[in-house]
Amino acid sequence: MTSTAAMRHASRAAPRHYSMRQREAGLTAFGSDEEEEIERLYTIDEDGRAPWKIKREVRAGIPPEIRGLYWQTVTGAKGCLEKNPDLYGTLVQMPSNYEEKILKDVTRTMPHLMFFRKKNGAGQRALFNVLKAYSVLDKELGYCQSMSFIVAILLLYMPEQLTKVYHIRGRAFLSCDYPSTSWLYHHFKDEGVNPVLYASEWFSTLFAYNFPLEIVVRLWDVFLAEGNEFLFKVALAVLKLSHDELLPLPFEHVITHLKSKQDALLAVSADFLIKLADAYSRNIDKQTLEALELRYNSPKKSIFRLETV
């Protein structure tokens, strides 16, 4: 069995406590043949659709050792770097109007992870550099706090020069008017609970803000291959998991519960959550998102727009 094949059968569970040693394993250097094999396995079609083989692989779980290269492959990060090898270095050297704000947020982004714990350590410096570079590149957006959580997760598996910034713009509306959550839908309506009050952080950080790390990276494996529809399915799955706890709660306690650490997820595996999300495949698709867009947004603005650098 080749080393790449062996890695595909390695432990697929992400670590609960991510150490420096585990990060180094995530940044494994591969030989050219191994790299080509991994890229061939996980290349997305030109139309942006993931072949069924990739969907099957990501649901089984991407081994941590190859997750970084998988993310680089499905996002096209390596291709961007090859086309613009000097761009990142140039951007990092340029001044940004957001430096003070970024520096403040960097020190409080995922301090429970050893990689980001040390003040001005390698992790914090890499996080600062990527966020600063993006703020210089995208003058319109600049910087917002949710970006730090996304970049932090990416840096656990990718070198900073290959890190792409993902940011979801626009208002995120979640309709949970489906049979499995209909009671909750009516309860939220009666209490005046607008999804934007709790779901905005879920979507703007791609669930990195208050979800367990080992679940977040598995969700990203699927999201990067399949797109924004999967995020809505996950949101509905989370509401389903918390259904019984949320149903008797008044407005303020509902918001507090959904914006806090998702303890309900600690009792389930990533596999279970992904399967639960997949159960909404018939309810959430591109047509559903387009309908929500027409209902809540200007026709010229999409609910989600994925920005990459």
Inside any domain, residue 4: no
- End position of a domain, from candidates 138, 164, 190: 164
What amino acid is encoded at 162 in this protein? L
H helices of the chain, in order, are 3-8, 20-26, 32-41, 52-60, 64-75, 77-83, 87-93, 99-106, 114-117, 122-137, 146-155, 182-191, 196-204, 213-226, 229-241, 243-246, 251-259, 270-278, 286-296
CB 153 within 8 A of CB 184: no
CATH code of 259's domain? 1.10.472.80
Inside any domain, residue 11: no
Predicted pLDDT at 177: 43
Tokens of residue 279, six digits: 């159960």
Q: How many domains are contained in the chain?
A: 3
- End position of a domain, from candidates 137, 164, 191: 164
Inside any domain, residue 308: no
Residues 147 and 98 in one domain: yes
Residues 23 and 57 in one domain: yes
**CA–CA separation, 102 and 143 (whole Å):** 8
**CA–CA separation, 42 and 225 (whole Å):** 9
Exposed/middle/buried for residue 273 (C-beta within 10 Å: 0-12, 13-18, 19+): buried
Q: Which residues of the chain have pLDDT under 50?
A: 1-17, 167-179, 298-309
Residues 110 and 145 in one domain: yes
CB 308 within 8 A of CB 224: no
CB 309 within 8 A of CB 138: yes
Instruction: Give the domain extent around 211.
Output: 182-297
Inside any domain, residue 142: yes
3-state secondary structure of 282: coil
Tokens of residue 231, six digits: 């995020």
Inside any domain, residue 177: no
**Within 13 A of 247's CA, how many CA atoms are on the CB side?**
9
- First-to-last C-alpha distance (Å) of the chain: 36
Inside any domain, residue 12: no
Predicted pLDDT at 142: 92
**CA–CA separation, 279 and 239 (whole Å):** 13
3-state secondary structure of 175: coil
Residues 198 and 268 in one domain: yes
CB 158 within 8 A of CB 71: yes
Predicted pLDDT at 163: 75
Tokens of residue 15, six digits: 């670590």
3-state secondary structure of 16: coil
Predicted pLDDT at 14: 41
What amino acid is encoded at 234 in this protein? V
**CA–CA separation, 145 and 251 (whole Å):** 26
